[in-house]
Copies of this chain bind each other. A is one copy, B any other.
């Protein structure tokens, strides 16, 4: 499976056409967002290179590119928290991938053991800002899952 080169498309083709031409950045990556098919909540945000995108589309199991490990990352390979692709979308200028996924395993997308990586609200009061943790408990203990 090959992707078109966005440089070969004009703005109208890029924004309104049927040609999938992901606009990888200088590091060969696009931002990838996974949302939960059940409630539409954002589970996590990571990155994909062309190979991760291809494997995700070909296998139906979500793959990312790990910037910290500098390697292809089958989500859940270590933790068991795999993601089944239900639907993929891209945005107007094709530099972001949005996926609706079924979060498998224990249902925890985040490496901290929580369902979503976005478990803290940003709150302001009298000109100061702080984070407030959701009350939900982690679904696994990271110390046990990532030995």
In the complex, the answer to whether B3 meets A129 with C-beta atoms within 8 Å is yes
Give the distance in Å from the alpha carbon of A17 to the alpha carbon of B130 in the complex. 9
CB-contacts of A72-119 with B (<8 A): 87-92, 96-98, 110-112, 114, 117-119
In the complex, the answer to whether B120 meets A90 with C-beta atoms within 8 Å is yes
Given the known inter-chain contacts A57-B122, A121-B89, please indicate yes or no for A1 contacting B128, CB distance below 8 A: yes
Please give me the residue from chain B that is nearest to A93 by CB atom.
B117
Given the known inter-chain contacts A90-B131, A121-B87, please indicate yes or no for A31 contacting B19, CB distance below 8 A: no
In the complex, the answer to whether A112 meets B15 with C-beta atoms within 8 Å is yes
The minimal Cβ–Cβ distance linking A143 to chain B, given in whole angstroms, is 12
Residues of B within 8 A of A147 (CB): none
The oligomer's copy count stands at: 2
**Considering only CB atoms and an 8 Å cut-off, how many residues of chain A contact the other chain?**
46
Residues of B within 8 A of A87 (CB): 121
In the complex, the answer to whether A20 meets B88 with C-beta atoms within 8 Å is no
Residues of B within 8 A of A92 (CB): 110-112, 114, 117, 119
The minimal Cβ–Cβ distance linking A121 to chain B, given in whole angstroms, is 5
A1-B128, A16-B133 known; 8 new pairs, CB 8 Å cut-off, are: A18-B130, A18-B133, A19-B131, A45-B91, A57-B124, A57-B129, A90-B131, A96-B118
